[in-house]
Structure formats: structure tokens, C-alpha cells
Amino acid sequence: MSALSPYAYYKPGQAVVVPVALHSALAIASLVFIFPTSVAAQYTTGLRAVIVPLITGFRQHLSLLDMPTTSQGVFTES
């Protein structure tokens, strides 16, 4: 009968909201202090660390491909 009475009955709402608020506070605190970078940021950093050396290798490869094969010293070992 309490649901139909004109008085405020806050206990069920409080029983849900307080644990959710504590969980959210704990999640935000752990996000800031334990995990300062996201998984996506770590993946992007790692991917960049892999791609940058590849780019320099590709540039060296292109410079070798630009050399004419008829020039002297192309296939000689140093």
C-alpha cells in the first residue's frame, strides 16, 4: 500500500543508486590512476612503432628501384 500513499518512499531507489554511484566512482578512479592510457591508445602507439621502420625500409627500396641497372657498381658487393 506504500506505493499508492502520497509520501515519498526513497529506500528502493537509494538501494539501487548508491551502489551504482560507488561503482562509477571506483571505475573512474581506476581509469585515471591504474589505466592512464586506453587499449586503443596503446594499440595505436604499438602500430606506429611497427609502421615507422617499415616506411624507412620502403623508402630505401624505392631508392634502389630508381637506380638504373646499367650503371656501374649496382650489383657489386662492398
**Separation of first and last alpha carbons in the chain:** 96
Alpha-helix runs per DSSP H in 1-78:
11-33, 39-66
Residue 40, φ and ψ in degrees, nearest 5:
-65, -40
Over residues 24-53, the pLDDT tens digits come to 999 999 988 888 888 899 999 999 999 999
Residue length of the chain: 78
This prediction has a pTM of: 0.44
What's the pLDDT band for 74 if we cut at 50, 70, 90? Answer: low
Q: What is the sign of the dihedral through the CA atoms of 56, 59, 61 and 63? A: negative
Q: Where are the domains of the chain?
A: 39-65
